[in-house]
Amino acid sequence: MNTTMLRITAALATATVAVGTLAGCSGGTGGSTGDAAGDTYTWWDPYPQHAEGSDWAQRVQDCGTQAGVTIQRTAYDTTALTNQALLSAQDGTSPDIILIDNPAVSTLAETGMLTTTEDLGLDTSGIEPNLLAAGELDGQTYGIPIGANTLALYYNADVLSAAGVDPSSVTDWASLDAALAKVAAAGKKGISFSGINTEEGTFQFLPWFWGAGADLTDLSSPQAVEALTLWKDWIDKGYAPNSVITNSQNTVWEEFLTGDFAFAENGTWQVNSAAEAPFATGVIQLPAKDGGAAPAPTGGEFIVAPAQQDTARYDTTRKIIDCMTTTEGFVQTANTFAYYIPPTEEGQQELLTEHPDLETWVTAVQDAKGRTSDNLGTDYPLISEQLWTAVQNVLSGVQTPQQALDAAQTAAQAATSK
């Protein structure tokens, strides 16, 4: 078994593979002559909600048409897509193009199953470096982000007004605490967030963790303890409900829509829902401990190209990817997924021309950070699991922040040193 196959097998061994629940997929990659004319190229993405006939599906087909080929598109849910990608590489049936959740890029790249952007001749010079970093591993870049979403603080303007709080005054942890105290004194609820024991819990904790100056290679640092203490104090003071321990991000939003909460940590995907809320809403960036914006983690997919035995196919693959990653293409994606912020400055400015109310979100994405950045690669999910476990143990009162994070660091070091 060659090195690539060994790495793929190892990746599958640590993944949750539910093959029996997956829909059937094509193992073909079109003709093998390298002649694009009349050929079929396979495309996988994590958007089953966008069925055939949708604007998204038509856009994918249009890019194939421009490249002179037909695209056979298959959609999976996010987790199934990563597993199926690994299985297809193991079987030698990888599709030509995959849109994959950005933290999974490193998982696929580490197996050797992906081409690099250099291999394909893709130009990444215009992509914002903080967004491109999620697709980088050991000095190589494996794909292009089609856009990014991230987190910020939504606020209920009516609740804040009644409590005498100006949202623009919230610029650091101290001013946020002061605002929450005023809201509580006015008889309303302060803030809701997701502290669930899944990746969502880590995703929502990271802005506070990074905003304190903590680093994922040292989970038990004084800065990390400060961040987790902040969340625990909010529960102890009654600023946040006990439900945050089991809240998903969707549950957080449902709580916010009751109109009882001043703040909710959530993402760009709730922009339209916030606009339709029965009360006035607004959004501010998540504050860092000592002021300014905290880096929030990026969500969103990368467009990647698995390695093919017939390398003559790469020329057409590049044309399809180029079509999807023009400025116009990035803006179309932003509008389709309400809202993925384009990964280029030009795309961001064009989006703001159409939607000037998204300025806070554009700035938040500019300040954001990929979860696998700093060359964490496939160590990230191992570290993340220990971090969300620590959050759970603290919020439920089982351990102090220092105890929980000491245990998390020990477990993360053991997991990542194998």
Q: What is the pLDDT of residue 4?
A: 54
Residue 65 and residue 77 in one domain = yes
241, 339, 382 from 55: Cα distances, Å? 40, 15, 37
Q: Take residue 208 and report the two structure tokens written for it.
A: 């506070």
Determine the Cα–Cα distance for residues 118 and 127; give it in Å rounded to an integer: 14
Q: 293-313 in b/e burial notation, b at 16+ Cβ within 10 A? A: bbbbbbbbbbbbbbebeeeeb
The yes-or-no verdict on residue 6 having pLDDT over 50 is no
Q: What is the mean pLDDT of residues 228-238?
A: 98
235, 236, 238, 251, 397 from 243: Cα distances, Å? 10, 13, 11, 9, 13
Q: What is the pLDDT of residue 218?
A: 98
pLDDT category at 11 given cuts 50, 70, 90 is: low
Q: What is the pLDDT of residue 7?
A: 54
Q: What is the pLDDT of residue 374?
A: 86
Residue 207 and residue 249 in one domain = yes
Q: DSSP 3-state assignment of 215?
A: strand
The C-alpha angle 252, 193, 221, rounded to 5 degrees, equals 160
Please provide the DSSP assignment of 28-44 as one string.
Answer: --S-SS---TT-EEEEE
* Contact in structure between 46 and 99 (CB atoms under 8 Å): yes
pTM listed for this prediction: 0.90
Residue 213 and residue 244 in one domain = yes
Q: What is the mean pLDDT of the chain?
A: 91
Determine the Cα–Cα distance for residues 143 and 179; give it in Å rounded to an integer: 42
Q: What is the pLDDT of residue 37?
A: 47
Residues 105-127 pLDDT 10s: 999 999 999 999 999 999 999 99
Residues 353-391 pLDDT 10s: 999 999 999 999 999 999 999 889 999 999 999 999 999
Domain count, the chain: 2
Q: What is the pLDDT of residue 338?
A: 84
Residue 167 and residue 283 in one domain = yes
Name the DSSP class of 244: G
Q: What percent of the chain has pLDDT over 70?
A: 91
Q: Which residues contact 374 (CB under 8 A, 6 or more apart)?
A: 215, 216, 217
Residue 134 and residue 44 in one domain = yes
Residues 334-358 pLDDT 10s: 999 888 999 999 999 999 999 999 9
Rg of the chain over all Cα atoms, to the nearest angstrom: 22
Which range of residues forms the domain containing residue 315? 3-145+300-366
State the alpha helices, DSSP H only, in 100-153.
Answer: 102-111, 117-120, 129-132
Q: What is the pLDDT of residue 129?
A: 96
Q: Take residue 293 and report the two structure tokens written for it.
A: 């914006």
291 alpha carbon, distance to own chain's centre:
24
Residue 35 and residue 131 in one domain = yes
Q: What is the pLDDT of residue 23?
A: 27
Minimum mean pLDDT among 20-24, 49-53, 205-209, 410-414: which range?
20-24
Element (H, E) at 71: strand 70-75
By DSSP bridging, strand 261-267 and strand 189-192 are parallel
Q: What is the pLDDT of residue 9?
A: 53
Q: What is the pLDDT of residue 17?
A: 31
Residue 244 and residue 293 in one domain = yes
Q: What is the pLDDT of residue 389?
A: 98
Residues 277-334 pLDDT 10s: 999 999 999 999 999 999 999 999 999 999 999 999 999 999 999 999 999 999 999 9
Residue 304 and residue 293 in one domain = no
Which CATH number goes with the domain that contains 268?
3.40.190.10
Residue 349 and residue 396 in one domain = no
Residue 225 and residue 251 in one domain = yes
Residues 241-253 pLDDT 10s: 999 999 999 999 9
The yes-or-no verdict on residue 32 having pLDDT over 60 is no
Q: What is the pLDDT of residue 25?
A: 29
Residue 307 and residue 290 in one domain = no
Residue 327 and residue 291 in one domain = no
